[in-house]
C-alpha cells in the first residue's frame, strides 16, 4: 500500500468513526424587518421569536430589528425596498403583493378557508413550496407564512344583521380587485385606500367602515371611530415573511439554513399569539363600547352566495392554475 492510499484509508476510517463536522459559519448580521402594523400586533411576536432563534443558533451573531407602523414605508414601498436590497426583510400582506405574484392572490378569495386547521395545513404544505419556488424571480425569498387572521367588518352607521345592511355603506378596502369585487357584490361602495390613511378617513366620515382582522382593529384603535363590529370572517389574511434575494444570496449555506428554519419555527409562536389576540381583541372591543354581532346562518349563506361569482371574475387576476393547485390541497383536507 502506498503512502497516499494509506492516508486515504485513514481519512475514511476516521470519517466512519464519526469525526466531528466542521463548525457552522455565522457572520454578524442584523436584519431590518418592516411591517405596517403596530409594535404590539402579533406579528411582533413572530419577529421577536425569530430573532431569539437566530441569536441562539448563531451564538449571538445574527438577529432581527423590527420596524413597525410603516416606519420604513407602507407594504408596497417596503416590499419594493426589499426587492432592491435596501431593506433585508418585510412581513407583509399576501393581498398587497398579489400584483407581484398572482399565486399569492388566491388567499384574497372570499371564504377560501373554513377554519384554522385548513390554514395551517396549506401554509406549511405543498402550496407553500409552490409559492417559495416562484418568489426568487421577483427578487424575494419566501421564508415562512405567518398570519394576520380572518377578517371582519366594522362601520359607524348601523349594526349589520342581514346582507341588506351592507347596501350603500362606503367600505375602505385594499387596492385589490378581488376585495373590490367582493364588496360591490354585497351592495357596498368599496373605496381603495392605503392602510395608513384609514383612521383619518373613518374619523372624518370619508368612509363608513372597513374590514380587517380583530387584533389589527383593536391595535389601531378603530373602536374610537367605529361603533359596530360584525364577525363575518369573510376572508383570511396571511402575512408572508420575505427576505431580499440579494441579501439571501450574500449569506452562506449555514446562515441561509438558520434563517429559514428560524422563520418556520417562529410561525408557531406568531400564529398562537395571533389567535389568542383575536379572542382578547373581541373582548377589548366590546369593553370599548363597540356593538359586536354575527349574521344568522341564513344570512351568512346569502352572503356566500352573493360573493360566489368573485371566484369566476377573479380567476384572471389569480390564475386558474394557482387556484386549482390550492383547491386540490383543500379538497384532500376536506375529504379526510
CB hemisphere CA count around 202 (13 angstroms):
27
- Is 1 part of a structural domain of the chain? no
215 touches 277 (CB < 8 A): yes
Structural domain harbouring 240: 28-335
- Is 91 part of a structural domain of the chain? yes
pLDDT at 194: 86
Instruction: Reply yes or no on whether the pLDDT at 3 is more than 80.
Output: no
pLDDT per residue as tens digits for the range 230-282? 999 999 999 999 999 999 999 999 999 999 999 999 999 999 999 999 999 99
- Is 290 part of a structural domain of the chain? yes
Percent pLDDT > 70 in the chain is 93
CB hemisphere CA count around 208 (13 angstroms):
17
Cα–Cα distance, 154 to 282 (Å, whole number): 12
How many domains does the chain contain in total? 1
Average pLDDT score over residue span 100-127: 96
pLDDT per residue as tens digits for the range 286-321? 999 999 999 999 999 999 999 999 999 999 999 999
Split at pLDDT 50, 70, 90, the class of 22 is low
Q: What is the DSSP letter of 23?
A: P
Instruction: Reply yes or no on whether the pLDDT at 215 is more than 80.
Output: yes
- Is 20 part of a structural domain of the chain? no
Name the average pLDDT for the chain. 92
Q: What is the DSSP letter of 289?
A: T
pLDDT at 336: 80
Split at pLDDT 50, 70, 90, the class of 95 is confident
DSSP 49-104: HHHHHHHHHTTTSEEEEEE-TTTT--HHHHHHHHHHTSSSEEE--TGGGTTT-GGG
Residue 271 cell numbers, joined: 400564529
pLDDT at 96: 82
The CATH number linked to 302 is 3.40.190.170
pTM (two decimals):
0.88
**195-226 burial string, b = 16+ CB within 10 Å, else e?**
beebbebbeeeebbbbbbbbbbbbbbebbebb
- Is 9 part of a structural domain of the chain? no
pLDDT per residue as tens digits for the range 5-21? 444 443 344 444 444 44
Amino acid at each position: 500500500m502506498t503512502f497516499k492510499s494509506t492516508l486515504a484509508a485513514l481519512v475514511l476510517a476516521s470519517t466512519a468513526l464519526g469525526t466531528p463536522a466542521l463548525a457552522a459559519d455565522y457572520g454578524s448580521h442584523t436584519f431590518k424587518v418592516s411591517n405596517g402594523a403596530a409594535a404590539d400586533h402579533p406579528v411582533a411576536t413572530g419577529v421577536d421569536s425569530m430573532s431569539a432563534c437566530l441569536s441562539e443558533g448563531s451564538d449571538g451573531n445574527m438577529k432581527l430589528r423590527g420596524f413597525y407602523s410603516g416606519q420604513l414605508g407602507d407594504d408596497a414601498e417596503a416590499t419594493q425596498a426589499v426587492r432592491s436590497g435596501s431593506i433585508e426583510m418585510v412581513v407583509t400582506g399576501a393581498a398587497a403583493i398579489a400584483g407581484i405574484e398572482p399565486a399569492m392572490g388566491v388567499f384574497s378569495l372570499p371564504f377560501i378557508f373554513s377554519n384554522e386547521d385548513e390554514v395551517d395545513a396549506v401554509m406549511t404544505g405543498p402550496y407553500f413550496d409552490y409559492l417559495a419556488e416562484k418568489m426568487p424571480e421577483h427578487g424575494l425569498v419566501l421564508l415562512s407564512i405567518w398570519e394576520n387572521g380572518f377578517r371582519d367588518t366594522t362601520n359607524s352607521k348601523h349594526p349589520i344583521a342581514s346582507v341588506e345592511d351592507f347596501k350603500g355603506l362606503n367600505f375602505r378596502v385594499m387596492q385589490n380587485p378581488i376585495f373590490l369585487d367582493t364588496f360591490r357584490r354585497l351592495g357596498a361602495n368599496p373605496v381603495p385606500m392605503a392602510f395608513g390613511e384609514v383612521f383619518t378617513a373613518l374619523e372624518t366620515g370619508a368612509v363608513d367602515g372597513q374590514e380587517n382582522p380583530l387584533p389589527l382593529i383593536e391595535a389601531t384603535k378603530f373602536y374610537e371611530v367605529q361603533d359596530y363590529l360584525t364577525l363575518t370572517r369573510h376572508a383570511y389574511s396571511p402575512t408572508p415573511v420575505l427576505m431580499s434575494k440579494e441579501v439571501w444570496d450574500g449569506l452562506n449555506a449555514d446562515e441561509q439554513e438558520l434563517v429559514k428554519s428560524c422563520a418556520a419555527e417562529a410561525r408557531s409562536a406568531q400564529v398562537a399569539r395571533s389567535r389568542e389576540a383575536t379572542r382578547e381583541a373581541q373582548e377589548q372591543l366590546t369593553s370599548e363600547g363597540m356593538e359586536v354581532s354575527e349574521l344568522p346562518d341564513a344570512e351568512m349563506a346569502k352572503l356566500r352566495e352573493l360573493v360566489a361569482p368573485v371566484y369566476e371574475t377573479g380567476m384572471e387576476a389569480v390564475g386558474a392554475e394557482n387556484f386549482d393547485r390550492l383547491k386540490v390541497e383543500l379538497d384532500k383536507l376536506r375529504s379526510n
